[in-house]
Amino acid sequence: MLPLSLRQLQVFESVARHLNHSRAAAELFLSQPAVSMQIKQAEQTIGMPLFEQVGKKLFLTEAGREMLHYSRSVVLLMQEMETVFDEMKGLENGHLNIAVVSTANYFMPQLLAKFIRAHPKIKVSLSVANRDAVIKQLTENVADLAIMGQPPEGTDMVAEPFMQNPLVVIASPLHPLASASNIQPRQLAHETFLLREQGSGTRGVVERFFSSHKLPLPAHMAMDTNEAIKQSVQAGMGIGIISSHGIELELEAKRLLVLDVDHFPIVRHWYIVHRREKRASVAAQELKSFLLKEAQRIEATINPPPSITKISGQSR
């Protein structure tokens, strides 16, 4: 069997990631026929189909899934090699793939914009997903760094806290508990909660909170975005538990308020996470250093002051 070319692996990896020839062609600055030809040649080389078409959708075959594992490793190693040589020549180039959980998306774009202004030659890609998807990107070596509130367990990841992340209980200003003080966990057990989906770090905190008080998880509805939770809480559909970083505008406009609940806020941290064995490029080191240096400013400008983390009645 003739060896696969690096170009064939690169084209295959792009098509497999997008499951779309046109998007891969645009990403690689190739024509669609050129992409199709590279895939056809790769399939002829290994003697098995890598994709199958079902209707208008493209799927990886079993051989394709195996190929993706190896091609992704080869492509990332080549990118790492190019970055190392650029660094040896004193060039501040490189490409960073950053994955963040959805709640962190309230502040990470502003931070990345500031970082990019200071390092205009570094290309940064941002992926926003739930915790499980972010961990998968780290595990598959797609993300260089990740920002999340609950780092993965195990020794193959390194997690460093860089900022506090208080979780608060939110409700509509018209909610019956809006004017209550020192609300106890057992009182919340009778409420309807609007929660993130399974796999979300915030969802895990809520489940552990009720379990620690020997209470069952209350009646709840799962939602896949924090925006959906906020809108539903405003509409009076229930109450929610959410990072204080995502509700500043709603508190200011008095569309939401933070309930005065005993044991809240639950103070967690945001973590910078990366694979232990992954060689950190200069660009990744620069971003990590930047985030750590920005931590005090972030907490001063993003975290709500103590006066709004415990509110009786309406937000002040």
Residue 239 pLDDT greater than 90, yes or no: yes
CA-nearest of 51, 125, 100, 94 to 282 is 94
Say what the pLDDT of residue 314 is. 34
Say what the pLDDT of residue 279 is. 75
Say what the pLDDT of residue 92 is. 59
Lowest mean pLDDT among 89-98, 164-173, 214-223: 89-98
Domain spans in the chain, listed from the N-terminal domain onward: 6-86, 91-163+269-301, 165-267+304-308
Name the band, by pLDDT with cuts 50, 70 and 90, for residue 93: low
**91-163+269-301: which CATH number, 2.30.30.40, 3.40.190.10, 3.40.50.720, 3.40.50.2300?**
3.40.190.10
Say what the pLDDT of residue 140 is. 80
Q: What are phi and psi of 95, to 5 degrees?
A: -135, 130
Answer yes or no: same fold for 91-163+269-301 and 165-267+304-308. yes
With helix as H, strand as E and coil as C, how does 103-167 read?
HHHHCHHHHHHHHHHHCCCCEEEEEEECHHHHHHHHHCCCCCEEEECCCCCCCCEEEEEEEEEEE
Say what the pLDDT of residue 61 is. 94
Q: Any idea what DSSP says for residue 313?
A: S
Q: What percentage of the chain exceeds 90 in pLDDT?
A: 32
Say what the pLDDT of residue 58 is. 92
Distances from the Cα of 103 to the Cα of 83, 124, 207, 247, angstroms: 30, 19, 18, 10
What is the pTM assigned to this prediction?
A: 0.62
For residue range 264-310, what is the model confidence (pLDDT) as tens digits? Answer: 998 888 999 998 877 777 788 888 889 988 877 766 664 444 444 33
* 196 vs 220: CA distance, rounded Å: 10
Name the band, by pLDDT with cuts 50, 70 and 90, for residue 133: confident
- Please give the average per-residue pLDDT across 36-54, as a whole number: 91
- Please give the average per-residue pLDDT across 257-262, as a whole number: 93
Say what the pLDDT of residue 142 is. 83
Residue 198 pLDDT greater than 90, yes or no: no
Q: Which two tokens stand for residue 100?
A: 């963040």
Residue 313 pLDDT greater than 50, yes or no: no
* 240 vs 193: CA distance, rounded Å: 5
Say what the pLDDT of residue 2 is. 58
Q: What is the DSSP string of 84-97?
A: HHHHHTT----EEE
Which has more confidence, 2 or 110? 110
Say what the pLDDT of residue 310 is. 38
Name the band, by pLDDT with cuts 50, 70 and 90, for residue 316: very low
Q: Which two tokens stand for residue 286?
A: 């620069």
Tell me the CATH class for 165-267+304-308: alpha beta
Residue 69 pLDDT greater than 90, yes or no: no
| Residue 131 and residue 199 in contact, taking contact as beta carbons nearer than 8 Å | yes
Say what the pLDDT of residue 82 is. 75
Question: How long, in residues, is the chain?
Answer: 316
- Please give the average per-residue pLDDT across 110-126, as a whole number: 88
Residue 169 pLDDT greater than 50, yes or no: yes
Q: Which two tokens stand for residue 183?
A: 């609300």
* CATH code reported for the domain at 6-86: 1.10.10.10
Mean pLDDT taken over the chain:
84
| Residue 267 and residue 165 in contact, taking contact as beta carbons nearer than 8 Å | yes
Residue 20 pLDDT greater than 70, yes or no: yes
| Residue 280 and residue 87 in contact, taking contact as beta carbons nearer than 8 Å | no
User: How many Cβ atoms sit within 10 Å of the Cβ of residue 17?
Assistant: 16
Q: What are phi and psi of 245, to 5 degrees?
A: -65, -20
- Please give the average per-residue pLDDT across 131-141, as a whole number: 86
Residue 261 pLDDT greater than 60, yes or no: yes
